[in-house]
Structure 1
Amino acid sequence: MRTVTTFDCAGETLFGTLDTAAGETGLLIVSGGNEIRIGAHRGMALLAQRLAAHGVPVFRFDRRGIGDSTGENGGFRTSGPDIASAAAAFRALSGIERLVAFGNCDAATALALFGAEAAIETLILANPWLIEQDDALPPAAAIRARYAAKLRNPREWLRLLQGQVNLKNLFKGLNKVFHNVPKGSTPLATELLDALATWGGRATILLARRDNTALAFADAARAHQGTLQMLFCETDSHSFAHPQDAEWLEQQIVAALSRLPEAG
C-alpha cells in the first residue's frame, strides 16, 4: 500500500510517501539535487514499489522548498533537519526497528554528513557529489578517463590527423587535467571522505562507472586515506535510468539490506 503524508520540519510542512511492507528494516530515500520525491524518470517511486514487494518499507519525501513541501530550498547543505524530520516521521508511521538510507548525488553527500544526526544506522550512497568548480568542463577525472579511452581508439587518431578535433576544447581539457587541484584535496571532497570514514563499514558506495560525478568521487576516494567499498554499474546514467541499471540498483540495495545483522 502507498500512502501520502505530511510532517513538520522547522515550522514548514513537508510531504512524504510511504510504501508499506512487513519488514522491520526501513529504507529512507533522499532525493538529490532539486528532484521531487518521485525521482528522475519516476525512478525512486518505481524503486520504492519494487523494494516494498521484497518486504522493505520505503519512505520518500520532498525537502523544504521542493515539490509539495513549503519553505525555502537551501540546497543539500541545509537538508540535515529535513532528513532528521523525515526519519522521525518514517519511524512513527511504520514502527520500523532499523533505518537505512539511500541517496544519489548530493543527497548521498548530505546523508554522509547528516545521517548520523537522524539516527540512521546504515547508508547506501550512489554517485556522491564532491565537485567544486567554476568552469563548465567535466571534472578532471572524467576528462582523464575520456582521453584514455580515445587514445586506445585508432579512429580518434585519424580524426585528429584529419583536423576533425576541436583543438581549443582539447587544450582546455588538457590544461584542466595537468593543472587540476591535487586529487581529493577540495574542501568538499575532504569533508565528505572524512565523514564517510566515521561510518566505517556501514556505508556502501554505488557508482555509475562512466558518470562524471562518479568518476570524480572514485578518483578522490582512491587518493584519500581509508578504504571504501565501491561497487560499479557499467553505465553512463547518473540516475540509473536504463532498465538494466535500475535492476542493478535494486539488486545492490536488496543485497546491502540482506547483509545487515538481525535486528534485536
Structure 2
Amino acid sequence: MNRLAFSFECQDARCGATLDSAPGTTGLLLVSGGNEVRAGAFNSQARLAAGIARAGFPVFRFDRRGIGDSEGQNRGFLNSRKDIEAALLAFRALAPQVERVVGFGNCDAASALMLNAGAECDALVLSNPWTIENDGDNIPPPAAVRSRYVEKLKNPKELLRLASGQVDLKKLARGLRQASKKQSAPSSLADQMRAGIAGFTGPVRILLAETDRTAQLFDERWDAADTRIRRCAGADHAYSSPQASEWLRAQILEVLRR
C-alpha cells in the first residue's frame, strides 16, 4: 500500500485529499463528518483507510471546502454534494481500475450521502446518521434513558447513592420526565434523509454504535424493521475501542467484497 497526498478542484477551490492505493476494482470513498479533517478524530480515518487498503481496496479521503487543507467556504454537510461528487471524480481519475465505489460516512457525512441519494456512489455504508436539528434535540432519547435507569436500579451502589442524598434530584427529575416520553420529537431532517435514500438503488448498510446518542436518536426516528441496520454493542460514536474498530472495518469490508 502507498499513501499519496494531493489536491483536486471543486468549483474553483483546491481541496486536500489522500489516496491509499491498492489494486482492487472496488474502492472506498471516505466522507468526513462534522468539521473533521480527513484524518478523522484521533487519526481514526487514516488508520481505517490503511486497514482497508491492506485488504486490497483503494481508499480516497478528502477535506471538503473550508476544512483542513481545502480552500473555499465551509458550507456544512447540507451543502456538500458538490464536494462529494468532485472527490468521486478525482478518485476515479487517480485509480482508473476502480469500477465500483462504496461511499462511507459517519455522523453528518452519512446524512449527506442519504440526503443526496448516494451522490453517485454505487453502494453505501452509513454510520450513526445525524438527525439532530437543534441543541434541545441533542439529549438521550426516552428509550435510552429508560434503559440507563433500569441498569442503575440493578446496581446496589446507585441505590445507596440515592438513599444517602448523593443524587442531584433536579437532574433526576429531568431524566424521569424524558424517560416518561414515548419517543423523541420528530425530525424533518430524518424525513428528508428517508426521501433521499429512497432514490438510491444500490446496496445500503446502516451501522449504529449502541451507546452513541446520535445513533440512538436515529434509531428512534427510523423504521425499526429496516433489515439494513447492523448494531455494535458497547460502541461509542467513533468506534474507539479495539473491538468496535475491528467490527467497523469488518462491516465495510463485507460490503466492499460483494
Q: TM-score, normalised by structure 1?
A: 0.89
2:113 aligns with one of 107, 111, 114:
111
Q: Which residue of 2 aligns with 1:62?
A: 63
8 Å CA contact retained: 2:8, 2:14? yes
**Does the alignment pair 1:250 with 2:249?**
yes
CA positional deviation for 1:179: 5.3
Superimposed CA distance per residue, residues 65-86 of structure 1 (whole angstroms, 9 cap, x where no aligned partner):
1000011111111111100100
Displacement of 1:252: 0.9
Q: Secondary structure at the match of 2:248?
A: helix
For the aligned residues, what is the CA RMSD? Answer: 2.1
1:241 is matched with which residue? 240
Q: Deviations over 1:84-105 (max 9, x none)?
A: 1001110111011111110100
% identity of equivalent residues: 46
Partner Cα distance (1:233, 1:71) in 2:
36
Aligned equivalents of 1:201 and 1:159: distance in 2? 52
- Is the alpha carbon distance of 1:108 and 1:137 closer, same or farther for their aligned partners in structure 2, counting shifts above 3 Å? closer
Matches within 5 A, 1:127-166: 127-135=128-136, 138-141=139-142, 142-166=144-168
Unaligned runs of 5+ in 2: none
192-201 vs 226-235, which deviates more? 192-201
Aligned-partner SS, 1:135: helix
Q: Which runs of 5+ in 1 are unaligned?
A: none
Equivalent positions of 1:6-21 (< 5 A) are: 6-21=7-22
1:63–1:69 CA contact under 8 A, matched in 2: yes
Measure the CA separation in 1 of the matches of 2:116 and 2:3: 27
Residue deviations 1:178-219 (CA, integer Å, cap 9, x gap): 457x55721112222333344467210111111111111112
Q: Which runs of 4+ in 1 moved over 6 A?
A: none
Cα distance, 1:219–1:149 mapped onto 2, change above 3 Å: farther
Q: 2:101·2:122 contact (CA, 8 Å) conserved in 1?
A: yes
Higher mean alpha-carbon deviation, 95-104 vs 229-238, is at: 229-238
Aligned positions of 1:83-232 closer than 5 A: 83-95=84-96, 96-116=98-118, 118-135=119-136, 138-141=139-142, 142-178=144-180, 183=184, 185-199=186-200, 202-222=203-223, 227-232=226-231
